[in-house]
Chain A
Amino acid sequence: MNILKFFTAGSVDDGKSTLIGRLLYDTDSILADQLEALQRSNRKNDDGTIDLAILTDGLRAEREQGITIDVAYKYFQTEKRKFIIADTPGHIQYTRNMVTGASTANLAIILIDARNGVVEQTIRHSYIVSLLGIKHVVVCINKMDMVDYSETVYNSIIEKYKILAQQLKLADVTYIPVSALKGDNVVQVSENMNWYEGESLLHFLEKVDTDHLDQSLLARMPVQWVVRPQTEELHDYRGYAGRVLSGTFNLNDKVTVLPSGASSVIEKIEFFDEALDAAHAGQSVIIHLKDDVDISRGDTIVNASALPQETKLIEADLCWMDTRALDTSMMYNIQHNSKITKCKISEILHRVDINTLDKHAADEFKLNDIGRVIVKTADALAFDLYDDNRANGSAILVDTRTNLTVGALMFRAAVE
């Protein structure tokens, strides 16, 4: 059994929280005391049934206003798979929260209200999905009960969406007509839409493939911690602890350590009390090298025959996440895996109007703005392009005055 992480994009009125509530409810993932608390609360649907949206709105302000402000994580499992849902707000003022929820997901559910079809926010949500490089997209046409379960309405919406998907280069898109409120096609295939020949949403989620990056040639492990017991019997023990971001390291593989460029060979791979032949993407291990090279936290061990980019000027997409606007004259910290160095945003190439996808020249970046910039770093980063290797192609910006995380960066090109 493995884990599928997905996130849901939609606005308050699209019934996003209701859809998640429905998934939890119909898979028996709501426990009795939560159900009791739900029934005690005063929010009911018009027909007197429980308002499932309450299950995901965790903060007091959210319950008061009936909206989702922050990312809420929910967990459920079936016999086939475990699921982690990032429930994110859909309003434009919460774009940063959506980017946050999307950053760890390998599937996105985009909700469209069948009565309204593809609207401005559908474009915005889909753009974020393409920006964050999420592999699978499920478009749920919701509230089908409000349009008499009409096939014609459904078809006209997906025809429109296909044009958008093409424009955004979304490769793997699946369409499902649902009613989250009534439960049609969420867990059970609906009898109200016999014209729909596909599966229910849950069945699709259970079998879609999850990508582990171990097939990639780009073996990368940022060093987080050097294990040195310094005891008598382990006097010379020196192990490099980290999590393999991508690819596979095998015993005797030739590796390069960046930024020093030193090369060596993998002598031993340990996981607690086991000795391993290989370390794959996702695993947290300790690696020993044959040669005595100087390595510390912030360095990266990589496959010697597939080196990453190494520059101080990087073209990147930036999502600005702070209420204080970007200051191009200021130094920020850039955090790329275990490496932290100083940087400046040396140039703003354009800003994207995420409702229309138009690119505009810009000289400022405010909260929730997204666009293309040039980052200039104090030390060179050993990175891959985001599209090739999400885990090694992303970074955050930290404001050194407030210590807040103010920007999310996706690397698009090395600037020579």
Chain B
Amino acid sequence: MSTYNFDYLDELEAEAIHILREVAGQFEKPALLFSGGKDSITLVRLAEKAFRPGKFPFPLVHIDTGHNFEETIIYRDKMVERIGEKLIIGSVQESIDQGKVVEQTGKNASRNALQTVTLLDTIAKYGFDACIGGARRDEEKARAKERIFSVRDEFGQWDPKRQRPELWNIYNGKIHKGENIRVFPISNWTELDVWNYIRREKIELPSIYFSHERDCITRNGQLMAASPFLNMDDEDVVERKQVRFRTVGDMSCTAAVESDAFLIDDIIAEISASKISERGARMDDKVSEAAMEDRKKGGYF
């Protein structure tokens, strides 16, 4: 019997590929939610490993807040061209223009919460029955309890008390009309696992993940990129900082960290030593202890 080297990244990868293929096999109209962040970029890589030389059995869907880092959009368009797969864009600006959501006002205004409406509308418009997302259980304690196949009702709601038991590696994808399933193939990965995988696979990332100079202001103890999307007033002092981003979201709610990490190796060293977890740099989670649980119940990613 031959021996083979099957380390933890191989195991996580094989599990994620298995989950992606279950989505392909069990659903009529799946989609892969693509944010331009490292987790969804990792999903695209895993989908290539699951389905090449065939086409992906699903399009990529980007819920565009209109408040993007320019680097992310450039990256997205280049990547879509390289892989030759279909991209569908759901626009938060359109939802605002149609009067379906109202732009927040005030200093901490963000389009983060508005995305949920656009996401649900996009799911309804195309009739998606499964949406693959890059959420991980190590990010946050409500996510720590979520299933890999997670049912959303007609209103996009997650009910944490009525989750289906999920046993062995068997995923129950049966749903009623109007419901859909969110699928999280990298549930069992940690932030460090994702970075180690990106390094191993030599996956290219948007440049904002790496150290660069940027005008920032300090809000609630966090560094925010100065941009037209941030409501600024005279009290805000703009400073030039050497920063990078640990997650990529809406510009109005994604905080930067001061960093000299120019290379993936630097980032991995930085994270290994870091004492601030990744979601600590997201203003949207700080609202209350149950912030994520409440947003997920309402249909958020």
Contact = CB atoms under 8 A, between A and B. Distances in A.
Given A214-B1, A229-B54, A61 B8 contact: no
A335 B53 contact: no
Contacts of B18: 224, 242-243, 284
A59 B160 contact: yes
B176 interface: yes
B223 interface: no
Contacts of A404: 164
A272 B289 contact: no
Interface in A84-115: 84, 96-97, 99-100, 103-104
A414 to B, nearest CB: 20
Contact of B145 (A58, A228, A278, A335): A58
A183 to B, nearest CB: 21
A335 B49 contact: no
Contact of B275 (A31, A56, A321, A394): A31
B260 interface: no
B53 to A, nearest CB: 5
Interface residues of B, number: 61
Given A59-B145, A75-B137, A69 B25 contact: no
Contacts of B236: none
A59 B17 CA distance: 29
B55 interface: yes
**Size class of the A contact interface (CB-based, 8 Å):** 35 or more
Given A31-B276, A33-B279, A338-B25, A1 B8 contact: yes
Contacts of A37: 289
Binding site of B, secondary structure by majority: helix, strand, loop or mixed?
Answer: loop
A278 B4 contact: yes
A237 to B, nearest CB: 7
A178 interface: no
A225 B20 CA distance: 10
Contacts, number: 180
B24 interface: yes
Contacts of A398: 172, 174
B17 A284 contact: yes
B6 A212 contact: yes
Interface string A217-252: 000000011011101001001000111000010100
B25 to A, nearest CB: 5
A70 B1 contact: no
B78 interface: no
Interface string B150-176: 000000000011011111111010111
B215 interface: no
Interface in A133-169: none
Nearest to A247: B1
Interface string B1-23: 11010111011111101100110
A232 to B, nearest CB: 12
A309 interface: no
A19 B163 CA distance: 26
B170 A224 contact: no
A3 B7 CA distance: 8
A284 B22 contact: no
B127 interface: no
Given A72-B144, A225-B24, A321-B165, A31 B14 contact: no
A121 to B, nearest CB: 20
Nearest to A323: B162
B165 A58 contact: no
B262 interface: no
B147 to A, nearest CB: 9
A408 interface: yes
Contacts of B172: 335, 396, 398, 403, 405
B8 A58 contact: no
Contacts of A215: 1
Contact of B50 (A73, A97, A99, A284): A284
B138 interface: yes
Nearest to A35: B275
B103 interface: no
A372 interface: no
B121 interface: no
Contacts of B138: 74-75
A104 B188 CA distance: 12
A259 interface: no
Interface in A27-46: 31-34, 37, 41
Give the most central of B1, B55, B193: most A CB within 10 Å: B1
Contacts of B141: 55-58, 72
B165 A335 contact: no
B142 interface: yes
A228 B165 contact: no
Interface string B27-71: 000000000000000000000111111110100000000000000
Given A32-B280, A229-B55, A99 B167 contact: yes
A408 B167 contact: yes
Contacts of A338: 22, 25
A186 to B, nearest CB: 21
A278 B3 CA distance: 10
A283 interface: yes
Interface of B: 1-2, 4, 6-8, 10-15, 17-18, 21-22, 24-25, 48-55, 57, 137-138, 141-142, 144-145, 160-161, 163-170, 172, 174-176, 187-188, 190, 192-193, 274-277, 279-280, 289-290, 293
Minimum-distance CB pairs A-B, first 4: A33-B280, A31-B277, A58-B141, A32-B275
Given A34-B277, A225-B21, A225-B25, 4 more contacts: A60-B293, A224-B18, A297-B25, A396-B167
Interface of A: 1-3, 31-34, 37, 41, 55-61, 63, 69-75, 77, 82, 84, 96-97, 99-100, 103-104, 212, 214-215, 224-225, 227-229, 231, 234, 237, 241-243, 248, 250, 271-273, 277-278, 280, 282-284, 297, 321, 333, 335-338, 390-391, 394-396, 398, 400, 403-405, 408
